Amino acid sequence: MIKLRKIITGILGSAVVVSLVAGMAIAQFSSSATMTNVSFATGNADLRIWDNTTYASTWDSGINLTDMYPGYEAPPVNMWLKNNSSAPIALNLSMALTDGGANWGNTLKDNVEAYVANATDTANTGWKTLSDWNTNPASLPDGALGQGNERMYKVYFRLSPLADNDEADSTLPGVEFTLTGVQS
């Protein structure tokens, strides 16, 4: 009985295989369609800074702080940024000192400090020396800047109250900060 069951199972299994193979060999009609002229374009991230005339990629601020003394704090400089991206993205903003200018080797880089605050002075980066700004970029306050939006920041500069005669008659011209917007 068991042998007969194995023989019948084998015959049925073979019949199934033969019928599947035969079914696949039957011709079928088919058709296809083609989709053409598909185009792809990416947007961009585009952070702009107000240059007193228009939003541009560079602002020659003309900031020239002279006769600084230990504890001196300059009035804030208003800095406007705009997310001019073509893509509907928000940008996380950061700032770094990217060029120490002439005389970077003198001690002013460790005694001139800056911080960036939001327009209402309720959030800021905290005071950082120029040397710190050079090695550790800071995130700007108030979160990501949405597409098409603009935001004002206040930039403060001071000479550290701990500065001493080593900084007397020193200059540090041509310092450059870079603002970066990264998709959030």
The answer to the question of residue 122 being in a domain is yes
The mean pLDDT value of the chain amounts to: 88
The answer to the question of residue 112 being in a domain is yes
* 20, pLDDT greater than 80: no
The answer to the question of residue 19 being in a domain is no
The answer to the question of residue 152 being in a domain is yes
The answer to the question of residue 84 being in a domain is yes
The answer to the question of residue 23 being in a domain is no
Domain of 69, in residue numbers: 47-183
CA-to-CA distance for 167 and 174, rounded, in angstroms?
A: 17
The whole-angstrom distance between residue 19's C-alpha and the CA centroid of its chain comes to 62
Banded pLDDT at 166 (limits 50, 70, 90): confident
CA-to-CA distance for 73 and 121, rounded, in angstroms?
A: 15
* 135, pLDDT greater than 90: yes
Structurally, the chain folds into a number of domains equal to 1
The answer to the question of residue 175 being in a domain is yes
The answer to the question of residue 105 being in a domain is yes
pTM of the model: 0.79
* 1, pLDDT greater than 70: no
CATH number at residue 106: 2.60.40
Burial of 61 (C-beta count, 10 Å sphere; 0-12/13-18/19+): middle
Task: Quick: pLDDT tens for 26-85.
Answer: 678 888 988 888 888 888 999 999 999 999 999 999 999 889 999 999 999 999 999 999
